Amino acid sequence: MIRYAYLALALTFAAPPLFAQTAPEGSAAPAPAPTAAATPSYTDVQALNFYLQQNDQVSVEAELRRLRTKFPEWVPPEDLRTLSITQPSTEIDTVYRQIAAGQLAEARETIRSTQAAYMNWVPPADMIRLLETAEGQILLDKALDAGNAAEALEIASNTDGLLRCDRVNNAWRIAEAQAAQQASSAALGTYSAIVRACTGFANIVATLEKSDAVASQGELDELFAVAASRFPDSTEDLEALKARLMAGRGLQTGDIAIASEPSVRPRSRETADTNAVAPAATQAPAPVPAPAPAAPPARVASAPVVVEVMREAPPPPPPANTGGGSSGGSGAQCLAATNGATSPSRLAERGWCAYNLDRPMDALAAFQSAEARLSGDQRRDARFGMALSYLKMNMTEEAARIAATTQLTHQQRVDTESIILDQRGVLAYKKKQYRKAIGYFDALEQISGKLRRDLAILRGYSYLNSGNRAKARSLFQDLHDQLATTETNMALDASR
């Protein structure tokens, strides 16, 4: 039995000194030390600011003489009223925009220069946390892209926010990397941690679907039992999902009890990936070549991911001058400005901000809250956002149900149905349902007017695997004539 622990990471920030110390005024002590302040602090100019507010020019001049005596190297600004400005405004907006754009080094430089210009300003903890999380996300993505599950797990565990449920995709990718390195128990532990920690039901459904690739029948039963205990109002949905997964294993729901063998794992099945183009083994007389197995990495992440119990990282504080009707600015700024929103229009706006930041769970929650209180075109647009959010999480059937019950615009329906057909076609191919895959790919081409090259190659292999060698070769030859690649050469060889 795998044991699961949950970790909540915390960061502390050491604030720099607000002001340098100054030598006592009017004392008989020795001359000030070389470390004495060269410019007055905000406290030093408080009297001057008061006289400026009172338009007392005589007192202003007297106070200026005092400050020049105390700070001989100080040059007063031309507009003395700027001395009363103690907090940055546009600079804060710039930092959040740079973070959202991935300009993290620039964001750190903006923070440094802003601290130098406003001595009593301390960057908000949420700003620093957002920046550090963004930096950690880049490192994590690089490790996962390189297939290094151990390094990815180490980065995620040591960076606040990367293993929160609002970034569940990180845990999913780590689990997939663990499974790819034959660490099925670790991958299962990661999926189990999500099922036990996260509160979004859509997250749980997607996780159960993914865990099917690494779980034995008994382990899958246990995960469904945990989910059912946590979401008693969703029992029917869970039963339907389990029945579908059992059908994929060649089982009927009534056969589960006698067919369950915890010690036997099913052969690993990849989750649908619209970018995957590697062909499966063919059922036609001439075998379709499979890609050569990759060399095993030096390290394997053998421990399950520890998912944080905290449900969602707090957003940054609202930027200045957001206005009332539209938050504008970057996605991060938009999330900040719509934090705690209660009106349906602002919730819908928050949904699009989260969606564009690749946070589909947050987007889905916002769209669902908005949709229940909207009507007309606004309700339609919120449901369109719900469908896209489901699709971004590869939850095709949930998105299809939304699309089927919504009067979408023509373009919205084209956008939605194109992704649905894309995902269904790839999934059908992976399940070796080649005729279904051809149907989906043909429909996608008809709706969108084109078929992406990787999907066109999959369609060719679908024809080959279903026994239509001539059609497959014709499709591969067309692709080869358009652009000759290693893939098209392999496909032509396989179809001879």
Q: From CA 169, how far away is CA 165, in angstroms rounded?
A: 9
Q: How far is CA 418 from the centre of its chain?
A: 22
Regions of the chain with pLDDT less than 70: 1-39, 42, 82-87, 89, 119-120, 251-331
Give pLDDT tens digits for 183-230. 888 889 899 989 988 888 888 988 999 999 999 999 999 999 999 999
Q: What was the pLDDT predicted at 334?
A: 80
Cβ neighbours for 24, distance < 8 A, ≥ 6 positions apart: none
**Which amino acid would we find at residue 459?**
R
Q: Which residue has the tokens 């110390």?
A: 21
Q: What was the pLDDT predicted at 142?
A: 92
Q: What is the DSSP-derived secondary structure letter of residue 118?
A: S
Which structure tokens are listed for 380?
């339609």
Give pLDDT tens digits for 120-174. 678 887 788 889 988 999 999 999 998 888 898 889 888 888 888 878 888 999 9
The count of C-alpha atoms lying within 13 angstroms of the C-alpha of 143, restricted to the half-sphere facing its C-beta, is 24
Q: What was the pLDDT predicted at 330?
A: 60
Q: From CA 173, how far away is CA 210, in angstroms rounded?
A: 10
Question: Under DSSP, is residue 267 helix (H, G, I), strand (E, B) or coil?
Answer: coil
Instruction: Tell me which residue of 470, 451, 465, 461 sits closest to 490, measured CA to CA.
Output: 461
Which structure tokens are listed for 96?
């959040």
DSSP letters spanning 275-295: T--PPPPPSSSSPPPPPPPPP
Q: Which residue has the tokens 């649905």?
A: 420
Q: What was the pLDDT predicted at 447?
A: 86
Q: From CA 396, how far away is CA 273, in angstroms rounded?
A: 12
Q: What was the pLDDT predicted at 280?
A: 36
Q: What is the DSSP-derived secondary structure letter of residue 319?
A: P
Instruction: Tell me which residue of 342, 337, 381, 335 sits closest to 357, measured CA to CA.
Output: 335
Q: What's the predicted TM-score (pTM) here?
A: 0.43
